[in-house]
Amino acid sequence: MPRGTRRGALAGRPGPVSRPLPTPPPGPPPQDPAARRGSGGLQEPRDLEERVLTSAVPVLLAFTADWCAPCRQMEPVVGELARELTGRALVLTVDVGEHPEVARAHGVTAVPCYLACTGGRETARLVGARPKAELRALLTPRT
């Protein structure tokens, strides 16, 4: 049989068709990922240290990435937790793609990663998609 000839189930079917990639429609640029996450998104790396060190309430740092499926799955859970804990805790989201230096400084090697900080010091850490109750438990003082 000559090379390039299809055999079996694919015999008689046309080969793959090459199509040009669609061009984005004209209009405003896509929304910034940090803006999509709301006010808890990190805008500048120096903001993080200042907000964590000066916070009078516990802080939950959520390290995520746009390409990470578990991070996207956890995004509404983290947002809901932030709304529930308004005034009692601060929830900040850090995109490791936009701020890799912040992730390195905190020893984050996998996402999603959740760090609880009290008084500017890390008190607990969880990696991976977790139930909201586990994230909330990170922020409660251990006795």
The secondary element (H helix, E strand) that includes residue 121 is strand 121-127
- Paired strand residues for 114: 62, 126
- List the beta strands (DSSP E) in 28-112: 59-64, 90-95
The one catalytic residue in 60, 68, 94, 138 is: 68
pLDDT tens for each residue of 42-75: 556 777 888 888 889 999 999 999 999 999 999 9
The pLDDT value given to residue 38? 38
The one catalytic residue in 42, 61, 65, 71 is: 71
pLDDT tens for each residue of 108-130: 999 999 999 998 899 999 999 99
Any catalytic annotation for residue 71?
yes
- The three-class DSSP label of residue 71 is helix
- Residue 108: which residues within 8 A CB-CB, separation 6 or more? 63, 96, 115
Q: Over 60: is that where the pLDDT of 8 sits?
A: no
pLDDT tens for each residue of 91-109: 999 999 999 999 999 999 9
Q: Over 50: is that where the pLDDT of 143 sits?
A: no
